[in-house]
Structure 1
Amino acid sequence: MDTNFQPVISTNERGHYRQHSLEFKRALVALSLEPGASVARIAREHGVNANQVFSWRRLYRQGRLGVPALMRDDGLLPVMLAPTAPAPSNSNSDAGGIIVLELGEVRVRIDGQPNVAILAQVLDRVLR
């Protein structure tokens, strides 16, 4: 009977974990969000586990992949320009401009000159 009593020594207890760049993660998330895409197929083609892609999608939706939570095929919102009546002189708006955003059942109207930080937060919530 041959037995080996020498301990197995491992220099790394948990193994080697690959570090993927944000660009790689964003690219796989974008591919997985396309209509008819198979997360399992995309993961297999790029050498990662499908559960990892689902995890990255969750991070993306939370806005934790370093990009706004807007990733559509064209990345654009439809814009229509329409003439408006001049603002009355006693109006409280700073610039007299009006921004109206319509996305599905959501309609946002902004009069005057908006605060950039607040506008970014509103757009982030509306576009999720």
Structure 2
Amino acid sequence: MDTNFQPITSKNARGHYRQHPLEFKRALVALSLERGASVARIARGHGVNANQVFSWRRLYEQGRLGVPALMRDDGLLPVVLAPTAPAPNSTPSDAKGVIVLELGQVRVRIEGQPNASTPAQVLDRVLR
């Protein structure tokens, strides 16, 4: 990804400090979070200190750069709860549950009343 960002410079009483726009910070953070990226190389290529990029990464993870924190590949799966309509003529005793797990091209649907070990076994097999 070839980018050319221009920092905004300003003068103040303490000297020359570069004031980088949020888009610049977010772009460098995004580049630095890519798999195999070198923060030092990215920082040097854009004329900032690597420690500054690490600082922006912390702010980004805390959601303090104006955007939500990045989703990282930490092994967790996203969970979506969707309301289901009760089946007609059903009683609470015959209520069934449905668990749908999606990971990339893999989709697993578990119907009925699975015990707690069933989803664990399925996830163990899918994530191998």
In the superposition, the TM-score normalised over structure 1's length comes to 0.49
Q: State which structure, 1 or 2, has the greater radius of gyration over its C-alpha atoms.
A: 1
Q: Which one has a larger percent strand, Structure 1 or Structure 2?
A: 2
In the superposition, the TM-score normalised over structure 2's length comes to 0.49
Higher relative contact order (CA 8 A, sep 6+): 1
